Amino acid sequence: MEADDAPEAVVTETAEDDAAEAEPAETRAAADTRGSTTVGDGVVAKIVTMVAGKAEGVHSLSAEGISVDVEGDVATIKVSLVVEFGHAIKAVAGQIRTDVIEAVEQFLGLDVEVVDVHVADIHLPDAD
C-alpha cells in the first residue's frame, strides 16, 4: 500500500469539545486571597507600646497609655507618655509618630490615619 492509498484518520468533533475550547476552565483564586484577615486593637497597641517604649527620649508610657481604634483597615492611635528631661518634646513626638506609622503599616498592613502623641509628664533625673 502506498502512502496515498493509506486510509485517512477521521476526526469527529463533538459539542463537548467545542464547549471546552470556547470556555477556559474556571480558575480558583489564590489561596492567600480566600478569606479575610482582621487585626484587633490589642495587637496594634502591643506594636505601638514596643515602638514608642524604645524611642530615644521616652522615659515611659503614662498611666493613660495607648488607645487604638481600628475601623476596617484604618487605625487611629493615641499615645500618652513621659519624656526624659533634656529631649525636645516635638522632636520626640515626631519620631514616635513616624516609627509607629511605619511599624503598623509594615507589620500589620493597616493604614494609619493619625497618631496623636500626648506628653503627660517629663521625667527629671533627680526625681528618682
Look over the chain and give the mean of its residue pLDDT values, rounded to a whole number: 87
Do 77 and 48 belong together in one domain? yes
Taking phi over 0 as left and psi of -120 to 50 as alpha, with beta for the rest, 19 belongs to alpha
Same domain, 19 and 77: no
Q: With contact defined as beta carbons under 8 Å apart, do 104 and 112 qualify?
A: yes
Tell me, yes or no, whether 13 and 75 share the same domain. no
50 and 70 assigned to the same domain: yes
Are both 20 and 65 inside the same structural domain?
A: no
Local confidence band at 26 (pLDDT 50, 70, 90 cut-offs): confident
* pLDDT band with cut points at 50, 70 and 90 for residue 107: very high
Q: pLDDT, tens digit, for every residue of 113-122?
A: 999 999 999 9
pLDDT tens digit sequence for 57-91: 999 999 999 999 999 999 999 999 999 999 999 99
What is the phi-psi region of residue 105: left when phi exceeds 0, alpha when psi lies from -120 to 50, beta otherwise? alpha
Maximum C-alpha span of the chain: 112
Do both 59 and 86 map to the same domain? yes
Query: Could you give the CA distance from residue 48 to residue 101 in angstroms, rounded to a whole number?
Result: 9
Task: Name residue, grid cell 515602638.
Answer: 51
Amino acid at 67: S
CATH number of the domain within which 64 lies: 3.30.70.1350
pTM: 0.73
Same domain, 23 and 48: no
| Residue type for position 103 | A
Contacts of 122 (CB under 8 A, 6+ apart): 82, 83, 84, 85, 89
Residues 73 and 16 in one domain: no
- Domain check: are 48 and 105 in the same one? yes
- Per the structure, the complete domain to which residue 122 belongs is given by 41-127
Residues 89, 26, single domain; the answer is: no
Domains identified in the chain, total number? 2
pLDDT for 2 beyond 90: no
Q: What is the DSSP letter of 85?
A: T
